[in-house]
Structure 1
């Protein structure tokens, strides 16, 4: 029977296509998150893929099989002999890759062939990450078959297989229905197999698929092009795209809420358009900043995003208690935790007097019989169980007992809420966490369904990883709905969500298209091999270029999600560097997929609004009228100073030099080193996204990246020798890094670029930084890289990366070491921790052990903090930075030298 393909551009187009479709129709959705949207079109009870598969199994009278979810998958992998010696955290991304292979019907045998394994599946002798994946995947597949289990990612493929054998039974029960698949931009390989099998049974199938306007885009219709089909398209009017430009990430959210509040009162940049009401606005944001801004502007909203159990208050307390137990119960952190109203609240005065450190000292200070002592003992027992090792079942049981009985968290939260309706959601979160943990405990206790893997012992890091995975994979109930409230979603907007206005935050190049680096196991080379030898499409096991194409298709769909779309972005990042608009927007506008709308801007220079502007009362601050007399400066409390870590080594050389170069603007030279550094940083970020040797990719990208550099490109055109020297230095460093890639790639789990470090507070000053590159190794430790314009001799004793490592270590991360990659001579210098000395070969040896380098950085940061708070940066006339310093006349060093010479005369 013919497959009916019905493409739509807007949801109004979809509504016209769905009209009259309710009778004798079964609607299948990408996920049940789309149910709310479908109900605005048709009144029916839709099916999920899981429901469709269950009906196929039921019609075939197939015996029930236990379905393995992400948590079960991790436990099964943890119990395999091939996983011995691997950390539990290492198995999480590995399990994700196995799930992706299963969804796309890449069997372990086929995967082994793609690797060129001569041995039978699971007996791969390769020692790299792909070899590990091959062995674990093969062993995992055998375990599923031996125990008659089915991975949840294989449900559609299994249902297709059952239909091939027992399709007539399903046809007798459901054959008179029309199967309408709604909202599918693309389909997994397993879903395609199931649709093809349904069509082979002469079932009437309709596929309502969204259009992207991208020629050759491998959408669901293209994936099914080989089937006998008829096509219809409804192509409605383009959306209007409005731009909101905030000075930084925080002002981006502030500007949005300001304009929405003004619009609701008939003011602002959009006053000429009718306000749709708060219920007609949907915001898509991946940050918590927008929620804070919505509350500040008193805009009613309801969060509709999936909320993981890990985000709940009570789970954060539990996680912090386990961390404090592992750290030996330090005073400040333990005091903060036990003082939580959900734990002990007020603590005895002896705690402040004794300032206890360690479990025994805390026991003595809290005294017998107090709630604080009760909470401490229970938390210590749980932390000890995790460290010592226990089964998944016992660990969940003790966690449920700790939260439900010892803490009595639901009852205590109920007393705290009282009449404060703002705490209602916190109470629901606490109750939902306990309910979800109890459900999971009942699941692993269910006997034969989940046999010995639920009774496998998990110790130390594995126990914590298991609890973290449970928290991430378990969802809490969404907040209670509100009438006439703005809808707030996370990064993903349900494909059937209807709104008059859709707002997208963060629409700069960082997220759209964003970074598309390779995973730790499934490399792009291997994905391409699997494509070539099978029937996988571009969006099945996508490579980096395929992922970018998929992001562009998703962006096009978001642009078509409402008549008016607001694109919000920051003008600069945390370091003050300008941010570019997403490159995906211009082609959409040029092609007519969307049209230009209004623009509003709130730069950093307009933090205080003019008295001539409309403003939101009790929220925004107005400038004083010019006619008012101005008072003198008044001392006031302010937030702690925030200082970049990158200037630490200049401060060590000379505080005065630091004050001139880092705290004040300076005249630029003919070749601004900052411009050249930005060019090289941009080139390296692009180079790491290209497969193949770095020497080749950097050479290929040199002209392209330089052309985008504006003024620098024109200057280098006039100085060909300078341009050639820069290219040669880049080539030498790329060749040096290529030489290290062989040994480093075997240990690298993932790579982060332009990575924002956790803030580091020392001496009342907050230090911030951004690392050029951070490699996460197979033991969880981080190896830091920074690209430097100068030669290695200038960085043997540098502390910038040591300060970065200190920030990470203070945040609880393990640091393997750091490396300065120097363009001046193509060499690598730095420091490495014990156990990581062979990861990278340093040209000038190890300057000192990593721990002493980090402590030296701590001391230097303390001195810098004192100088910043005091505002004093005296010159160091004995500094080695004096020769060639451009500020000799300002610090009066030259005068002192002349006076000394006169005295000699």
Structure 2
């Protein structure tokens, strides 16, 4: 009779492992558990009912703990062992980068033959395949068989072939690890197996059972470690999730078919599935949230009975929806560093440095609470006028203004990024980043000072843990032995330095803050194998996610893998083929279906976040073979047409039922105290939108001025310039208007807007305005010469005679009025913008109306537009021939006289004034929704047009 020391216990339902695991533990307290993840350690302790602080807890290892754990057992027995330093993901990338650079330096044609070698992503690609080869305990000589090599030499003839390059780097990588006492994480079972050659350790482990929980299959290195344990007589129990994939699936049952006894420890009942089909990802999450609430309100479940598995792309929207629906949630895994606000701050600083500290980005950083500045409004206005950029310009302005702390901080920012730009090794990189954030910027201290609200304690916790992770890594690089070898001393380029930091931030988690016990458990991307909940939810059960895109690895494709599999001398090496990787995804998907004790919910949206169509995962295709695996007990469909609940329950705090919105939605109408006065210069604003007029002209609501050119100061400067230039033109004979402008330009600029001369970034605006003024001066000079014989006098900034409509007095002031013999008055108004903005303007028409009501004749009214050097306006019916007298020869393209006569447009202006007067006396101003007006309106939030009419105006004019 053959005694089988390996026993495989298959199970579908992880919660049914509690009894057999407790029985094994009670029988053999000295056993060693091995589980896939850190989260599984905690779940196993719960299954064994071992919580809180107590002594003699069982040893629970992950594969990464195996080598150090066995070394500890040896040391306690009096044996000295050399523990190799295990590479973490960023250090693994660093070593692979070092080897790739060495190979590139030795082969000039490599980049030409394999262009991808020069791409940043190549190091990650080759790193993954090195990890896979080590996990299968593949020797470089084994890999060389795919190239028909008889021997493996340093002068590789196949170096410019993808598989040859992989083979060469693989050999170099193993040598590098060995020479520097380092270990790849996939190498741990191999190193542990070598420790088993020590007789003392083998003797101790013979009496210590090994229980491996939650492994569906093993890599060859892991499998050989288990075989060695079996050879020394250790008892081995493997609790394996039942893949339900059949005999063709390569799993632990196949791997140990000849050496293991296989039995079941849980029932094979099918999973009960409820499927939710929705319109888009947000609706998918909102539909889930409302149904979770209904379940909890029924008393069927509590929030702590529920777990949701969320793919990473859904993370932000899922958190947003759960918070909006006030569903308490917790994540057992914590945030990655690249998801924290500290990392976001570092990225923003980098972008600002890359753009040479532009004004808006830098002022935003200086205003960040983590830097502790509360910049006074006056100082902000001062900076906006000068729009500094570049480290020197910023520090010069700030130091002259007495802002010494801001000056110091910008210098520290710039110094850190210059250090990275010059090149740095990883040790110096982390030391400088930690010094910048903790010592020089005092982020931890400032965060503590600005967190006065207890609800923000989590933010302070996040800052503290981020800096702790940086400190731990910096200490590891500086003091851990052995060192990482030559790679640790390599000078990284700026791009490589950021790549290393990115990898560190992507791979390092901070411990999650404490949350309420009564919370939904969130798993991002995948759950621990021992996780079981009454209700388990899988988000995005689409073909895009399950199985997703499965491609051939670029350096070791399926053809090369088959050659290795078919080589009789390489028995036992199994590198998964594409169809097997798809099977692994399906087995993982099925494991999630059995993570619930009562019901599993799957959600699916018809389109993804980019609007591309989705399909339900092919893993859910029903056929006769799968009826015993799962049953779809209910299906809920909620298309985008049912975005809001209609005729059904709704959650008052988070939703509004559609039938509540079926009534006409009232526009938010600004209401003010009735007015008895209006200014004619505002008529065009009122015609555009009465609410816009009320917000701007009555309530005086303005957004903060933008940095750079001050349009209002420009307008005032140009008005003063024209006033002075015309007075000089009339008093000094022989000078043209253009010559007067040239003489007065510097004086007027210096007296009204001196920054145009003194701020380098405004020089281009100064020159543009000067050229526009000169062009407009030439046009006006020619018009003056045409009308010279009729010219009588000019008035500047003249107050127009007021007039009353419906108890409202309307007033106005004209920029310039020319008095002409026989013609009467001509109105002129200077505009900095182009003439297209005044095609339908009623401003001058209302001025002409004011003059006519005082029995004063107006022959014409014109806008003088600087931007396009145009003169645009209307002439009266009485002076139809004025256009011929007005338009100089050679300037017909610069003067546009509208067909509508001045009297007619004045009449239209009066009709608008009558309506405007009603609004002023009532104090009520209803928004006028118009595509052109609403598109760039700064008061959108107040008028809520998108809520009332549904949607915003797009760039192409569609809604």
Question: Could you say what secondary structure the match of 1:573 adopts?
Answer: coil
CA distance in 2, matches of 1:18, 1:870: 63
- C-alpha change, 1:403 and 1:576, in structure 2 (3 Å) is closer
Give the alignment of 1:607-756 within 5 angstroms.
607-610=643-646, 612-624=647-659
The offset of 1:195, in angstroms, is: 0.4
Hey, what does 1:439 align to over in structure 2? 472
Question: Could you say what secondary structure the match of 1:4 adopts?
Answer: strand
Hey, what does 1:244 align to over in structure 2? 276
Match of 1:203 among 209, 234, 238: 234
Give the alignment of 1:283-682 within 5 angstroms.
283-286=308-311, 287-288=314-315, 289-343=317-371, 345-347=373-375, 348-349=379-380, 350-367=382-399, 369-421=403-455, 423-446=456-479, 449-450=482-483, 451-533=485-567, 540-562=574-596, 563-574=598-609, 576-587=611-622, 590-610=626-646, 612-624=647-659
The offset of 1:540, in angstroms, is: 4.8
Find out whether 1:276 has 2:301 as its counterpart.
Answer: yes
Question: Could you say what secondary structure the match of 2:603 adopts?
Answer: strand
CA distance in 2, matches of 1:295, 1:176: 52
CA distance in 2, matches of 1:491, 1:313: 22
**CA deviation digits over 1:860-898, x for unaligned, max 9?**
xxxxx999647659xxxxxxxxxxxxxxxxxxxxxxxxx
Question: Could you say what secondary structure the match of 1:234 adopts?
Answer: coil
Hey, what does 2:726 align to over in structure 1? none
Confirm or deny: 8 A CA contact 1:282 1:503 kept in the other structure: yes
Larger radius of gyration: 2
Q: Which runs of 5+ in 2 are unaligned?
A: 51-56, 106-110, 112-117, 670-688, 693-934, 937-951
Hey, what does 1:709 align to over in structure 2? none
Hey, what does 1:21 align to over in structure 2? 24
What's the TM-score, normalizing by structure 1? 0.66
Hey, what does 1:139 align to over in structure 2? 172
Q: CA RMSD in A?
A: 2.9
CA distance in 1, matches of 2:226, 2:538: 33
CA distance in 1, matches of 2:568, 2:469: 41
Question: Could you say what secondary structure the match of 1:294 adopts?
Answer: helix
Question: Could you say what secondary structure the match of 2:24 adopts?
Answer: coil
- C-alpha change, 1:631 and 1:395, in structure 2 (3 Å) is closer
Confirm or deny: 8 A CA contact 2:138 2:573 kept in the other structure: no
Confirm or deny: 8 A CA contact 1:512 1:582 kept in the other structure: yes
Give aligned pairs, total: 636
- C-alpha change, 1:447 and 1:252, in structure 2 (3 Å) is closer
Find out whether 1:97 has 2:129 as its counterpart.
Answer: yes
Q: Which runs of 5+ in 1 are unaligned?
A: 267-273, 638-864, 874-905
Hey, what does 2:885 align to over in structure 1? none
Question: Could you say what secondary structure the match of 1:52 adopts?
Answer: helix
Confirm or deny: 8 A CA contact 1:89 1:465 kept in the other structure: no
Confirm or deny: 8 A CA contact 1:249 1:573 kept in the other structure: yes
CA distance in 1, matches of 2:67, 2:427: 29
**CA deviation digits over 1:157-185, x for unaligned, max 9?**
1211231x22x312332322221111111
The offset of 1:30, in angstroms, is: 1.4
Confirm or deny: 8 A CA contact 1:509 1:580 kept in the other structure: yes
The offset of 1:490, in angstroms, is: 0.5
CA distance in 2, matches of 1:535, 1:514: 35
- C-alpha change, 1:535 and 1:258, in structure 2 (3 Å) is farther
Question: Could you say what secondary structure the match of 1:374 adopts?
Answer: helix
**CA deviation digits over 1:518-563, x for unaligned, max 9?**
3343323223333333798999532221111001000111111112
The offset of 1:2, in angstroms, is: 1.8
Hey, what does 2:45 align to over in structure 1? 39
The offset of 1:97, in angstroms, is: 2.0
What's the TM-score, normalizing by structure 2? 0.62
Hey, what does 1:148 align to over in structure 2? 181
**CA deviation digits over 1:679-726, x for unaligned, max 9?**
xxxxxxxxxxxxxxxxxxxxxxxxxxxxxxxxxxxxxxxxxxxxxxxx
The offset of 1:375, in angstroms, is: 2.6
**CA deviation digits over 1:421-472, x for unaligned, max 9?**
2x22222221111111111111111265114432221121111111112212
Confirm or deny: 8 A CA contact 1:129 1:521 kept in the other structure: yes
The offset of 1:412, in angstroms, is: 1.3
Confirm or deny: 8 A CA contact 1:303 1:487 kept in the other structure: yes
CA distance in 2, matches of 1:128, 1:321: 41
Match of 1:157 among 187, 190, 202: 190
The offset of 1:208, in angstroms, is: 0.7
Find out whether 1:193 has 2:224 as its counterpart.
Answer: yes
Confirm or deny: 8 A CA contact 1:181 1:208 kept in the other structure: yes
- C-alpha change, 1:123 and 1:276, in structure 2 (3 Å) is farther
Confirm or deny: 8 A CA contact 1:29 1:182 kept in the other structure: yes
The offset of 1:94, in angstroms, is: 2.0
The offset of 1:625, in angstroms, is: 5.5
**CA deviation digits over 1:65-113, x for unaligned, max 9?**
2223322222223333115484555323322221221122122232233
CA distance in 1, matches of 2:334, 2:163: 32
Question: Could you say what secondary structure the match of 1:521 adopts?
Answer: coil
Deviates more, 1:472-481 or 1:80-89: 80-89
CA distance in 2, matches of 1:117, 1:570: 51
Confirm or deny: 8 A CA contact 1:89 1:462 kept in the other structure: no
Hey, what does 1:231 align to over in structure 2? 263
- C-alpha change, 1:94 and 1:535, in structure 2 (3 Å) is same
Hey, what does 2:292 align to over in structure 1? 260
- C-alpha change, 1:112 and 1:330, in structure 2 (3 Å) is farther
CA distance in 2, matches of 1:214, 1:447: 45
Question: Could you say what secondary structure the match of 2:18 adopts?
Answer: helix
Hey, what does 2:93 align to over in structure 1? 74
Find out whether 1:7 has 2:10 as its counterpart.
Answer: yes
Give the alignment of 1:767-786 within 5 angstroms.
none
Question: Could you say what secondary structure the match of 1:500 adopts?
Answer: strand
Hey, what does 1:65 align to over in structure 2? 84
**CA deviation digits over 1:280-326, x for unaligned, max 9?**
00000012211110000001111223522121110121122123222
- C-alpha change, 1:515 and 1:230, in structure 2 (3 Å) is closer
Confirm or deny: 8 A CA contact 2:39 2:332 kept in the other structure: no
CA distance in 2, matches of 1:457, 1:575: 40
**CA deviation digits over 1:95-137, x for unaligned, max 9?**
2221221122122232233233456255334324433323222
Hey, what does 1:733 align to over in structure 2? none
